A = this chain, B = another copy of it.
Amino acid sequence: PMHETVHAPRVCDIMDRHQVSITEDEEIRTAAKKLLKGETNHLTVLNLEGRLVGMVTTYDLSKAVANPGKVSLVREIMTRKVITTTPDEVVDVAAQKLEQYNISALPVIDKAGRVLGMLTALDLGKLFGRRWTR
């Protein structure tokens, strides 16, 4: 029904605006420190123009731990085909992307490909947890 569409929350309502980035030529060790410092599981990887070129998560760091000494740079472990969302996308569409691709975060990008924030499964969980308590 029309009114559900109108009231459906959008990505900009719940996204985390404090995402952390790295560049692809930095060391995996630097990525690990940024992840720990930012208390996050996801970093966006940017090129020199500030455009999104990949994502590196704590999951990808497992590749470095599993194969010690074999990889050293972010671009050797990052994911290049990034699934993204936009600020005005309806939250349930973004949630379906997480489910479809079995991923836990979507970078939120503007039309120029710049990163505005991150939408995580945890942000969705928070929205869900508030549903019956408000």
Contact = CB atoms under 8 A, between A and B. Distances in A.
Interface of A: 4, 8, 28-29, 31-33, 35-36, 39, 41, 57-59, 61-66, 68, 91-93, 95-96, 98-99, 102, 104, 120-122, 124-129, 131-133
A68 B59 CA distance: 17
Given A36-B66, A63-B36, A104-B121, A91 B128 contact: yes
Contact of A129 (B59, B64, B95, B129): B95
Most B CB contacts (10 A, CB to CB) among A8, A58, A91 go to A58
A63 B128 CA distance: 31
Nearest to A33: B66
B61 A96 contact: no
Copies of the polypeptide in the assembly: 2
B58 A128 contact: no
Contacts of A131: 92
Given A95-B126, A99-B125, A128-B91, A62 B68 contact: no
A91 to B, nearest CB: 7
A127 B126 CA distance: 13
A127 B129 CA distance: 12
Contacts of A128: 91-92, 95, 124-125, 127-128
A123 B64 CA distance: 27
